[in-house]
Structure 1
């Protein structure tokens, strides 16, 4: 009987705490989580008789994963053309150096939607001391055109689209960016992420900007083990059932399932394993229920909030 009373008190504490915190989180978020489903023109370049138009969600470049649609337009007749050898290179420059971020360099043409499809995982928002610039090249009428333009990368206000970067046990630099869901629900949500790595150059840089010095690629055949937790002290770092680890699918992205059992702060604790099953980054999180104490996190994690 004594054990039963303790169990009832413990359950009452958890339920009460979850209810209070849920109300607090809703107040913090407001009534809506930012969502962007419409592609709009974000920036344009002009060179000779041609204009480059780049579209992104909401017409804005955000820190994190950005799907991009690029069009080459003949400015004389305003007709879109299917040219060749379109390249895309984002660079972040400061007074000290220049760096890039995961991106598609050689863009492929989508014959159905009639645009060049690509992506860019901007690793930081624009700042007074560091400026993003896009370098685009294409060939039309047997002539190569090179264009560069400054852009602004905004802060990502939707924490469900956070990202992280780290050095793995293999010494490689990796990036994980959340792609979906933009607006989770209290349910089992399809979870999508991109995993990328920096390709170390073995040659000395040529004429700036030398794309070989700023090369990134998708990581293939890895597994991202998932353990979502609510790390707030009142939540006890509890997890949820029916989650599925992320594996790579035909689109090159990693797909899994995250089961959010209530709104609030969640930590996606991760363990990244390579094709041979070796851990590249991440640690196991204890299953102990820890009310009153901030929950422990994996060595590799991404925080979300909805």
Structure 2
């Protein structure tokens, strides 16, 4: 029995070394977590100085935490800001005004000078975990704010730039479900996975008739993680857990990464009635030298 366990361990080490050596991203297996909220840009409007913040001071493709701070323009005095509402849009090359998931009403539970929320951006479109380097592509988006101070409503707006993601473990996907509706799934955690059972958190949103998005409720996101590279042969792992919605509105589950490298998170999304919205079962067969089958709903990661 000990000999069998030892042989299995040595085989795993061998397979891992093959993955890093044969794939073109072996030198990209180190990523930093996104840092604290820092100013991306600011607006001087209505006698106010409005700071727009994001992690590391930049907006990236995928899920982004954000914050809005509003003070007087000259003295930077604290104001009695009652609420901040957000609208984020993008105009494509055809002139269509598009949107994406974001917090419409920002949260000020910590401090009425700091209003926090999130935004999910689906551009640039050229992103792949197989890219050798960050592409440097920038896409313009427009942030419009409606905020209230002492009962008076003000408005302001600013163009921002969204860059390619720097961390493939915060990847995302957009798709049309069998119900004809457009959906987004964005990875939120872990930013830096471990070779262990990881807490997996995603956001899931569906497009409404007014071109905005809302969180889907009481769905289930079934999970089947695999290493699809030809040098891994569709290797999977035990102890994974499907994702279900928690009180924060996001979907939580477990994913067990048994080694570093290129993984595909294969999903099947089911609505609250158990109907499949998107996703297909993948083969459980392990076959070296063949790229593994992927669900028609999947997100690739690399760590």
Fold in common (TM above 0.5): yes
Query: Which moves more between the two structures, 121-130 or 164-173?
Result: 121-130
Name which of 164, 177, 184 aligns with 1:155.
Answer: 164
| Residue 99 of structure 1 pairs with residue 98 of structure 2 | yes
| Inter-partner Cα distance in structure 1 for 2:81 and 2:14 | 61
The answer on whether the counterparts of 1:87 and 1:106 sit within 8 Å (CA) in structure 2 is yes
Contiguous gaps of at least 5 residues in structure 2: 1-5, 126-135
Deviation at 1:94, TM superposition (A): 3.3
Query: Which moves more between the two structures, 150-159 or 104-113?
Result: 104-113
The equivalent of 1:260 in structure 2 is: 257
Change beyond 3 A, Cα 1:108–1:15: closer
The answer on whether the counterparts of 2:50 and 2:71 sit within 8 Å (CA) in structure 1 is yes
Residue aligned with 1:117, SS:
strand
The answer on whether the counterparts of 1:94 and 1:131 sit within 8 Å (CA) in structure 2 is no
Query: Which moves more between the two structures, 237-246 or 65-74?
Result: 65-74
Query: Which moves more between the two structures, 82-91 or 25-34?
Result: 25-34
| Residue 179 of structure 1 pairs with residue 188 of structure 2 | yes
Contiguous gaps of at least 5 residues in structure 1: 1-7, 202-213
Deviation at 1:57, TM superposition (A): 0.8
The equivalent of 2:133 in structure 1 is: none
Change beyond 3 A, Cα 1:161–1:113: farther
The answer on whether the counterparts of 1:176 and 1:196 sit within 8 Å (CA) in structure 2 is yes
* Cα RMSD after superposing both structures: 2.5
| Inter-partner Cα distance in structure 2 for 1:113 and 1:145 | 16
Deviation at 1:275, TM superposition (A): 0.8
Question: Given the two structures, how large is their TM-score scaled by the length of structure 1?
Answer: 0.86
Name which of 217, 232, 235 aligns with 2:214.
Answer: 217
Name which of 145, 153, 160 aligns with 1:144.
Answer: 153
| Inter-partner Cα distance in structure 1 for 2:112 and 2:222 | 35
| Inter-partner Cα distance in structure 1 for 2:198 and 2:139 | 36
Greater Cα radius of gyration, structure 1 or 2: 1
Equivalent positions of 1:219-298 (< 5 A) are 219-298=216-295
Deviation at 1:39, TM superposition (A): 1.4
Deviation at 1:19, TM superposition (A): 1.9
> Aligned residues, how many?
287
The equivalent of 1:117 in structure 2 is: 116
The equivalent of 1:84 in structure 2 is: 82
Cα shift readout 1:14-65 (whole Å, capped 9, x = no counterpart) = 7533322234569634463132131111121111221211221111101100
Deviation at 1:250, TM superposition (A): 1.2
| Inter-partner Cα distance in structure 1 for 2:112 and 2:290 | 51
| Inter-partner Cα distance in structure 2 for 1:102 and 1:20 | 39
The equivalent of 1:4 in structure 2 is: none
The answer on whether the counterparts of 2:195 and 2:260 sit within 8 Å (CA) in structure 1 is yes
The answer on whether the counterparts of 1:229 and 1:269 sit within 8 Å (CA) in structure 2 is yes
The answer on whether the counterparts of 1:41 and 1:55 sit within 8 Å (CA) in structure 2 is yes
Deviation at 1:131, TM superposition (A): 2.4
Query: Which moves more between the two structures, 71-80 or 167-176?
Result: 71-80
| Inter-partner Cα distance in structure 2 for 1:288 and 1:256 | 24
Query: Which moves more between the two structures, 267-276 or 93-102?
Result: 93-102
The answer on whether the counterparts of 2:264 and 2:300 sit within 8 Å (CA) in structure 1 is yes
The answer on whether the counterparts of 2:81 and 2:112 sit within 8 Å (CA) in structure 1 is no
| Residue 301 of structure 1 pairs with residue 298 of structure 2 | yes
